[in-house]
Chains A and B, each alone.
Chain A
Amino acid sequence: MTLIFVLIVWAAGWGLNVMIARSKGANTAAARFAVPVIFGVTVLAIWEILVRGYDISAVILPAPSAIWTTLTSTTDVLWGDFVQTFLKGALSGYIIGCASAVIMAVIVDRYDFLRRGLLPVGNFVAALPIVGTAPILVMWFGFDWHSKAAVVVVMVFFPMLVNTVAGLRDTSVMQRDLMRTYGASYMQTLFKLRLPAALPFMFNGLKIATTLALIGAIVAEFFGSPVRGMGFRISTSVGQLALDMVWAEIVVAAIAGSLFYGLIATVEKGLTFWHPSQRK
């Protein structure tokens, strides 16, 4: 019975999407928005039906409605965790890490020897499982948000460095020669030509770093934290089999991550409107 119901819902949702995708209006903004939303709602509905129909225990998979109830009834706890992990840990680490990476990149770019030496090392480090430094940094900086910020700094530094250095080299000889004929100093060339030209690359790094920052802050809390924070709540709620709370935290993390990414992407659109990738 449940299975038939699931099939009906799936067929309805998917059929609707097929209809929209094949219709004439498939390229409009409304269709582009509606289709993924319908898909998401269908998946949620099937999830709910399956959990209810087969009477799946809440310690294995809570229903979306149960997660929503937890989400709305424990907003103060969730907000406290959000402040601890995101605003204090991830955001401060993100700002410190990205800012120092940009400064380092300008220095690296100034000296060719450093660039040839540091860039391969940076590329190498960017591919390593840096989350592994979390236990060490928690030991050094204590359980509070400072250690989480430190993990985030280490995680975002190298991707940001590599991208910024690549961006600073993205000016043509013509452009640099023009600056020289104007008699521009190094600083003027840097601020008026090369940093603006590097912006698309820098934003690429900044966008990669948003996800890394959240991952770093949450995983670092698995290694020790005060009694609040998203990572702490997830690991303790898993221990208490309060999976609805875990899902609620994951929803908060997902929303925070997407909004953070969206914010950076919006700033990018405003600042690099001249770049071909932003043209409509």
Chain B
Amino acid sequence: MRKHIAVPLMLLVLLLNACSQATPPSSAPTVAPPAAAPAQNQPAATVAPVALPTNAPAAQPTTGTFAESPMLADMVKAGTLPAVSARLPEQPLVVQTVTDSGTYGDKLRFGFTGTNPGWGGLWFVNGWEGLTAWKPDFSGIQPNIAESWEVSADAREYTFKLRKGMKWSDGQPFTTDDIMFYIEDMLFDKDVSPGGPVADWLPQDGAKDFKATKIDDTTIKFTFAKPYGTFLYQLATWNGRNLAFYPKHYLQQFHIKYNPNVDELVQKEEGVKDWANLLNKKAAGMATDIQEFYNMPERPLLFPWTVKQPLGTGTTIVLERNPYYWKVDAKGNQLPYIDQIVGTSYQNAEARTLAMLNGDLDIIKDPGDENRSLYYDAMQEGKPLDIKQIVSDGGNTISLHFNRTTADPVKAEIFANKDFRIGLSYAIDRKEIIEVVFQGQGEPAQVAPLEDSPLYNERMATQYLELDLAKANEHLDKILPNKDSEGFRLDKNGKRLSIVFTVVNDASFATQWTQVAELLTKQWARVGVEIKLNSIANKQFDEASKQQQLEATLWSGEGGAGLTPILEPRYYVPMTSVQSLFGVGWFYWNVKSTDAKAVEPPADIKAFYQSYQDVVSAPTEAEQLSRMQALLNKAADEFWTIGISRPAPSFQPIHTRLGNFPDSYVGGWTEGVLKITQPEQWYVKK
């Protein structure tokens, strides 16, 4: 029997006060916390200073009892590296490992497609460390770089305590100065950030009045202009990556404030024009692609592994353990267990699949649903493979959008009509799509929070769901009553309404989209709506999106589990994301894009967006939940997007030699894909 079948679906209730609930240190990460009633019992607890019993287990190792990788021990012996106790902070973070059998050494073989290690998936293994982090069961957040924090009652002031003695990968101390450098000398510097402070963790509304104050080397206070109740979660997601990413001691040489002679360095560097360019390039994050740190072996990091050999034009990138990594296991062994990561670049996903099947790789991201039976077959044939389960955090497999800001005014008017969307929703044979595309897995549903989320809204999840052509026609007849001789509906000018259905066909997460669209085209023809399918590459799609050429389209269905609807509201709230494709022009207006065709939203849309800002600024979680619930009710009325089905668990193949990989975990962008499995505690079995 394979273990993963036995693992039950976890309950995913996100509770802030879960942080303060003492969890026995022995509990496995997959055990779900009690599903407490979300709203009533924690009005004060959320804003009170958070005590951190989870982080201080009884087995807290004392100084001097730490162990380290033999590779580092050799260096210590040779005198090229300080002793492990001197490298760790006074209070290292104790990671709850999946099993307690982790051993040091060996290398993790990671396979990715393309020439970009970051986008290929490596940064979900080694790409960012936040002040906070998700608990491995996604039941809440836990301390990470920050040892503890206090939040003011109005959720405007956050005071973080860092780990004393924590160090960058080059051995230099990591202090509040590094965070201050990022905020004052990068984010608020007119030359480095010419448009003023813009960061994804910082609400745009009132960003200029944000203040950071250094209290001492390990204490820092953030003061927001408005209440910001979801900040701690944001820090655990990708959005929080920037705060502890910029080593001042290394980067200050590129800043004119610290180095008046910086122009000499500018002269020497390829591809930069001034010192701000140079700083941005070396910082790798603000005005450049964050993945660029994979090209910079010299740049200090706080991650488990640092870059030893960049990819360059070769096919492999080598990362090596960070000797100053600040996490240990319960026995006091410094993490990570694995000494090296060898990332191999594949130009073609099929080649990577074969390598994984062969046992040449330990883990890959996005193995592809169509390959599922290949992996099971190979496992049965005795290949060294193990298959784990990913529980999706998504609200739906697919979200269908009709772009209300599309360039054609006749169509834009039709798309804005709710009856049109209701009619089309009734015309979808979801059971058929589930059977044909999703291999019979999952239940029909609209795009909505999952049943076990505190934000679940039954009406939103189940309205207009059944296949009912009579109802479909009834709703469509209200706005498109006339048909031509072939039975297709005419628009108000008497011309056949022909909608271009643009679908991305080349993204690793989008392998089934064209197929869904092909079926929908057929199904919608039954109620007289002509759809012309156009499947294109992601890049062209992006260009079409900017130019408001998109009419009908589809994307994934984020925003299902726990609080993710608040953190990832792209399908519930217009203007929030480039994937809010049901009115994408509004988004470009909202971010004041210069190269896209922006469309100013009408007042009611702006008001809707504003009420989402109120959710984010709610000081308590109870308040956030109730405001979001009200907002979701309104979103259900609006019926922005049409859904297909609830996502079924997907699979994650790993090599049998990879240890401490959970049998089942919640996977999604918010959780950092693989990051929630805590790669630093993976190990290679002997």
- Whether chains A and B associate is no
Chain A: residues with CB nearer than 8 A to chain B?
none
Chain B: residues with CB nearer than 8 A to chain A?
none
